[in-house]
Amino acid sequence: MKNKLILIVEDEEDILELLEYTLQKAGFETIGCLNINPVLNQILDEEKVDLILMDRNLPGVDGATFVNELKSKGYNNPVIYVTAKDKDEDILEGFENHADDYITKPFNLKELVARVKAVLKRTSKDIEILKVRDIIYKANNKRFYIEDEPIELTHLEHDLLLEFIKNKDILLSREHLLNSVWEDSFDKKLKTVNVAIKRLKAKIDPDSKKQYIKSIRGEGYIFC
């Protein structure tokens, strides 16, 4: 089986070399770039890039801006920002801009490798079963089970719970959920998210004992 390929965009050469060495030692293939240029699109077109590690402080541009451009063109590669932008608002902004994870500098190399593996596992298209706590998702029949009992969900509730499970322990804003789950629906209102999550909670945690989904006042929700 071919090793996973990671595209690294980092303008500090020593950090780029360290990232490449560390990830290659962990069994990944890497392509390193010191800046954003047209070659990146060519790489994404010609290579099966499984994950992008993207710095945000790049010459002349925020890496998040470039990621937004990629997403608008139809590229759906998962993205981890690795950046010195470490304020709370920076991190939230990163998740608003298609981050599958957000790692701040300085970082622990072992933790970085672990989080790379976690994102790849979560976003891999060949995963058939996802398990978080006592919730199991089976992709073959698109059904959720809690303690081996099937849970009856609407299509919307299914997509909402799947988005939470794929982003375990990550704060998801209402805007993110609207864009990811509701997509082009005409009913894209923030209060719609609140109502849908309340109904979902009633189905997966009717006694409110398990507290799968926690509300963060003014910010969004976390599945944990």
Please tell me whether residues 216 and 109 are part of one structural domain. no
Please tell me whether residues 11 and 115 are part of one structural domain. yes
CATH number for 165: 1.10.10.10
Please tell me whether residues 20 and 96 are part of one structural domain. yes
Model pLDDT, residue 152: 92
Mean pLDDT of 190-219: 90
In this predicted structure, the answer to whether residue 185 has a pLDDT above a threshold of 70 is: no
Model pLDDT, residue 168: 85
Please tell me whether residues 69 and 137 are part of one structural domain. no
Model pLDDT, residue 72: 80
Question: CA Rg, the chain, in Å?
Answer: 18
In this predicted structure, the answer to whether residue 15 has a pLDDT above a threshold of 80 is: yes
Domain boundary among 74, 99, 123: 123
Model pLDDT, residue 198: 93
Q: How many domains does the chain have?
A: 2
**Range(s) of the domain holding residue 173:** 129-223
Would you list the DSSP string of 144-204? EEETTEEE---HHHHHHHHHHHHTTT--B-HHHHIIIIITT-S---HHHHHHHHHHHHHHH
Encode pLDDT of 29-88 as tens digits: 999 999 887 667 778 878 888 999 999 998 888 999 999 888 887 777 899 999 999 999
Please tell me whether residues 109 and 201 are part of one structural domain. no
CATH number for 118: 3.40.50.2300
Domain boundary among 123, 139, 159: 123
For residue 138, what are its two tokens?
């089976």
Model pLDDT, residue 128: 61
Which residue would you say has higher pLDDT here, 83 or 192? 83
Q: Coil, helix or strand for 57?
A: strand
Please tell me whether residues 100 and 162 are part of one structural domain. no
What is the model's pTM?
0.57
Encode pLDDT of 88-142 as tens digits: 999 999 999 999 999 999 999 999 999 999 999 887 755 566 778 889 888 767 8
**Amino acid at residue number 72:** S
